[in-house]
Amino acid sequence: MMRVNIKSNFIVPGLENQEGLDLDRSTITLREFLEELGERAPTRVEYVRPGAQTINPDEWEIRINDTPYQQWSAGLETLLKDGDTVTIIIIPLGGG
Amino acid sequence: MEEYSVVGKSVERTDGRVKVTGKAKYAGDLVAPGMLHAKLLRSPLAHAKILSIDVSRAEALPGVMAIITGRDFPGIPYGTRPDTRDQLPMPITKVHHFGEGVAAVAAVDEDTAEEALDLITVDYEELPVVLTAEDALKPDAPPVNEFSKSNIAYSSNFLFGDVEKGFKEADYIREETFSSQRVTVGFIEPHACLAEVDPTGRVLLQGSKQSPYITWRHMCRGMEIPLSGMRIVNPFVGGGFSGKHDPFDVDFAAVKLAQRTGRPVKIVLNNDEVLAAYRQRNAMDARLKIGVKKNGSITALKAECILEGGPICGIGPFNIYYFGAFLNIPYKIPAIEYHGKLVYSNRAPCGTVRGQEIVLAQFALDSLIHMVAEDLRVDQVEIRHINAVTDNWRTANGMMVDVSGLQECIQRSAEKIGWKESRKGRPKGRGIGFSCASHPSGPRLGGHFGSSVMLKLVEDGKVIVTHGGTEIGQGANTVFCQMAAEVLGLPFEDMIQGVSDSDTTIFDSGMFGDRCTYWDGNATIAAANDLKRQLAVIAAKELQASPEDLEFKNRRIFLKGKPEKGIDFLLAVRRAYYERGEPLYGKGYWAATDIDIVDWKTGKGNLAHGLDFIATGIEVEVDRETGKVKLIKGVHGDDAGQPINPLMLEGQVNGGSAHMTGHALTEESLYDEKGRALNYTWRDYKQPTSMDVPEYRVEHVHTHDPYGPFGAKGAGEASSCSTLAAIANGVYDAVGVRIKDLPITPEKILKALREKEAK
């Protein structure tokens, strides 16, 4: 069992009243974690495109324990540990 | 107050003459060698499965070069936020609203393309339609959007301060409902674009776009084109008012058809198509509950809002956010509870319109304030004075109001409209309504959110100003030229507006939210100072002085306080080019990195600088026999900081107000029971003309915004936010009936008068 905390500037779809995710495993990569979040969303949400090596910076800004994921040597394949915090900043594209 | 040479002067706008003489080239005027013309086949149904599309007969028509449908695109949804992506370039499995484009034909001329549309057969299976918010929220409502199981497209719940305590402290509480109709955006130039593909496959799109870089990013995603694979050049744009941010089927189809044929493809819509099938303002249902003390000071507010936004989420999350977060201004409200929902429907897709949904929030709030003031026998001007935000005010959600001229705005609009005199006596059927409003100068979004400006100093001493913001008629180009001229000590005539081209100008996050003058204006100052630094080094050598000791004025560079010890500006320019071989470019950028990034979850934070304020008084006359409302006079006390170009600022303020008079009184996009648009021509859709606009007066309240360029704030949207309630309140003041569901039609007024008389 592990828990990954989530910080965000939006309500993460599927996690309306939660600030983290309890997982029935001991390790998970950042990519797997984001895919898991996407699967839990009631609408279609894609944090990382299948097969992509990076996250589109036009869409999401992702940090692991307050460090941009790009600065972790394994990038999207970084292994998250119990108690780690993933920050997700949503990047909207539009104006009124 | 500092004396300026160019800033603060009503110089002639850079694009004025070419526009009024008909020489300006808009997207619809563009031509390219070998250009094809394209047309879109539109759905006659509001909600239906697409079973098949047979294009074989159309393809066989001589002159038809290519036909595309939704299946020709990668099927990747796009949308304003990555968690609400629910749009495809063209539909694949079903249509969502009347007039949705289902196929596009490129042909050698428009007539052939039009004829080919008649030869395309689409087999539909009709589905039940969702027309209203009430329909959308029924448990058995059919889902509208294939990317969402629910018809709730987005929701927000914000809590600022202690609402329970606020209502407990109130001496008086009143609760009311308000609603607003669907209205179109209202620009004159319909959507149009010209797409070309070069031999390497690189796309050039020239379109009528308000924020071309928003279009660019969405299109590159929806078509799987790398960002560097598309170039955007902006022609003249005939108005946007928030309706031209997104890419539409027009843009996607033109690019796809150009890719398919290898030839330039142009699409120009007609206004009927725009009115039937493109962006509108959300319909709103709102409930507001307000608590006040005996003197009228507000203690708490609870607001619920449901926006019906058509079949896509689009900019809707912003609309929900703006409605709730900006209830915090222009009045001091210590505690606010807000619940907002955006729902899908099978009416035309919504974006927003000038003023965003602050327009709707302020209609409800300021109408309610009028009611409360009357109940408490507090003067309408006084209650606004009591609650108006002041300098250095921290709102309940954490926004910092640096400078507020609202008190003076209220005082001056009341004086000039003749409020006090009108309380002593006024002609029968006449009344005055008040409303205040505020609008931020652009929020801080994530991603590429800054503004950049480039100045190229040509060897004849003229400066070419290029920027990533967009001139859509608001006058941005002119104010940037004024700012650059002021910093460089040059006359306005020495400024030339360059072309907005993504290959040569720097990307910008867009022209929205009153941000352009503020953000790009600051970037212009930075660019001019960069250029000044380069010239100062050259001149200092010539003058044997330190660069920091030099002043730029009247086309001269001289020692501060000693105009006689200097050189001509042009000489310094020529020294750079002819003796040093040094090109003279100034670049500048600006972004409000010290404000908080939008928190969609809580609505809290210091969300924006440059809050501009307005107090609007409108005198109306209501004919008790016909119910017709005539607008007599409108006065706007307006705090836009330092006016950069007072005449253009007046145009923005008056235009923002005139724009909303139709929303208040005459406009409504109507649909039949099957979701088919009914009044999608300018003959049937009643937008106001110059004949309907009252005599306007703008009272500039000069303040100095500490972060704004030359102390300026954004402008042009606040007056949209104040106008609806001012008119509704004016109608009440005139004949004593309160219309809470817009538009305020003669029929509604007569019905209310009859009901009142019957009591």
The verdict on B657 touching A (C-beta cutoff 8 Å) is no
Residue of B319, B356, B446 with shortest CB distance to A90: B446
The answer to whether the beta carbons of residues B289 and B173 sit under 8 Å apart is: yes
Each residue's pLDDT, cut to its tens digit, for chain A (96 residues) gives 899 999 999 999 999 888 999 999 999 999 999 999 999 998 889 999 888 999 988 899 999 999 999 999 999 999 999 999 999 999 998 877
Going by pLDDT thresholds of 50, 70 and 90, the confidence category of residue B419 is very high
| Tens of pLDDT, residues B701-740 | 999 999 999 999 999 899 999 999 999 999 999 999 999 9
Nearest CA in chain A to B315: A94
Contact B317 A61 (CB under 8 A): no
Percent pLDDT > 90 in chain B is 94
| Tens of pLDDT, residues B276-321 | 999 999 999 999 999 999 999 999 999 999 999 999 999 999 999 9
Going by pLDDT thresholds of 50, 70 and 90, the confidence category of residue B418 is very high
Coil, helix or strand for B532? helix
Looking at beta carbons, which residues of chain A come within 8 Å of B85? 44, 46
- Region B431-454: what's the mean pLDDT? 91
Q: Which helix (H) or strand (E) holds B258?
A: helix B249-261
| Whole-angstrom distance, CA of residue B533 vs CA of residue B550 | 10
ipTM strictly over 0.95?
A: no
CA dihedral B149, B154, B155, B158 (to 10 degrees): 150
Residue boundaries of the structural domains of chain B = 16-22+448-590, 31-127+207-239+244-269, 280-443+598-758
Residue of B81, B82, B211 with shortest CB distance to A95: B211
| Whole-angstrom distance, CA of residue B328 vs CA of residue B326 | 5
Could you give the residue ranges of the DSSP H alpha helices within B262-357? 271-277, 316-325
| Tens of pLDDT, residues B356-388 | 999 999 999 999 999 999 999 999 999 999 999
Choose which CATH entry (2.60.40.3080, 3.30.420.40, 3.30.365.10, 3.30.300.30) describes domain B16-22+448-590: 3.30.365.10
The verdict on B315 touching A (C-beta cutoff 8 Å) is yes
Question: Looking at residue B383, what is its pLDDT?
Answer: 98
- Region B637-654: what's the mean pLDDT? 97
Residue of A46, A91, A96 with shortest CB distance to B446: A91
Is residue B499's pLDDT more than 90? no
Is residue B415's pLDDT more than 90? yes
Question: Looking at residue B551, what is its pLDDT?
Answer: 97
The pair of structure tokens assigned to B290 is: 């307000």
Residues 523-562 of B with CB under 8 A from A: none
Amino acid at B337: E
Average pLDDT of every residue of chain B: 96
Whole-Å CA distances, B527 to A92, B514, B546: 28, 21, 21
Would the pTM of this model clear 0.80, i.e. be above it? Answer: yes
**Residue B634: is it exposed, middle or buried by C-beta count within 10 angstroms (0-12/13-18/19+)?**
buried
- Region B443-467: what's the mean pLDDT? 91
The verdict on B352 touching A (C-beta cutoff 8 Å) is yes
- Region B468-474: what's the mean pLDDT? 89
Q: Which fold has domain B31-127+207-239+244-269?
A: Aldehyde Oxidoreductase; domain 3 (3.90.1170)
Contact B446 A92 (CB under 8 A): yes
| Whole-angstrom distance, CA of residue B623 vs CA of residue B628 | 5
Residue of A46, A47, A93 with shortest CB distance to B218: A93
Question: Looking at residue B152, what is its pLDDT?
Answer: 96
Contact A95 B509 (CB under 8 A): yes
* Residue pairs between chains A and B whose CB atoms are closer than 8 Å: 104
Is residue B506's pLDDT more than 90? no
Whole-Å CA distances, A51 to A32, A47, B328, B350: 12, 12, 44, 34
Question: Looking at residue B445, what is its pLDDT?
Answer: 80
Question: Looking at residue B212, what is its pLDDT?
Answer: 86
Q: Which one, of B602, B83, B92, B78, lies nearest residue A42 by Cα?
A: B83
Phi, psi at A88, each rounded to 5°:
-125, 115
Residues 59-88 of B with CB under 8 A from A: 77, 80-86
Contact A44 B150 (CB under 8 A): no
| Whole-angstrom distance, CA of residue B318 vs CA of residue B341 | 11
Is residue B350's pLDDT more than 80? yes
CA dihedral B718, B719, B722, B724 (to 10 degrees): -130
Between strands B101-107 and B36-42, the pairing is antiparallel
Coil, helix or strand for B512? coil
The architecture that CATH gives domain B280-443+598-758 is 2-Layer Sandwich (3.30)
The most distant pair of C-alpha atoms in chain A lies apart, rounded to whole Å, by 44
The pair of structure tokens assigned to B57 is: 């007969």
The pair of structure tokens assigned to B454 is: 């480039």
Q: Which one, of B123, B127, B68, B74, lies nearest residue B101 by Cα?
A: B68
The verdict on B245 touching A (C-beta cutoff 8 Å) is yes
- Classify residue B757 as left (phi > 0), alpha (psi -120 to 50) or beta: alpha
Equal fold, B16-22+448-590 vs B280-443+598-758? yes
The verdict on B314 touching A (C-beta cutoff 8 Å) is yes
Looking at domain A2-90, its CATH superfamily turns out to be Beta-grasp domain (3.10.20.30)
More confident residue, B88 or B442: B88
Convert B121-152 to b/e letters by CB count within 10 Å (16 or more is b): ebebeebebbbbbebbbeeebeebbbbbebbb
Q: How far is A11 from chain B (nearest CA, A)?
A: 5
Going by pLDDT thresholds of 50, 70 and 90, the confidence category of residue B254 is very high
Contact A95 B511 (CB under 8 A): yes
Question: Looking at residue B1, what is its pLDDT?
Answer: 59
Contact B81 A13 (CB under 8 A): no
Whole-Å CA distances, A43 to B267, B306, B601: 33, 20, 18
Phi, psi at B111, each rounded to 5°:
-65, -45
Is residue B446's pLDDT more than 90? no
The whole-angstrom distance between residue B239's C-alpha and the CA centroid of its chain comes to 10
Coil, helix or strand for B357? coil
Question: Looking at residue B315, what is its pLDDT?
Answer: 94
